[in-house]
Amino acid sequence: MSPKPLRIGTRKSPLAVWQTKTVQQLLEQQGQPATLVHIDSDGDQNLTQPLYAMGIQGIFTKALDTALLNNTIDIAVHSLKDVPTQLPQKVVLASVLERENVDDVLVFNSASNRLPNTGTIATSSLRRKAQWLHKYPNYTVDTLRGNVQTRLEKIESNNWTGALFAAAGLSRLSLLNQLQYQTLDWMLPAPGQGAIGICCHQENTALHKLLQSVECSTTRACVTAERTFLRVLEGGCSAPIGVRTHVHGSTLEIEGGLFSIDGKQSCVDRCSGPLTTAEILGQQLAEKLLHNGGTAILEDLKKS
Residues labelled as active-site residues: 82
Nearest to 41 by CA among 57, 25, 18, 53: 57
Sign of the dihedral through C-alpha 205, 207, 20, 34: negative
d(CA 81, CA 299): 24
Give the number of other Cβ atoms within 10 Å of residue 253's Cβ.
16
For residues 290 and 233, the answer to whether their CB atoms sit within 8 Å is yes
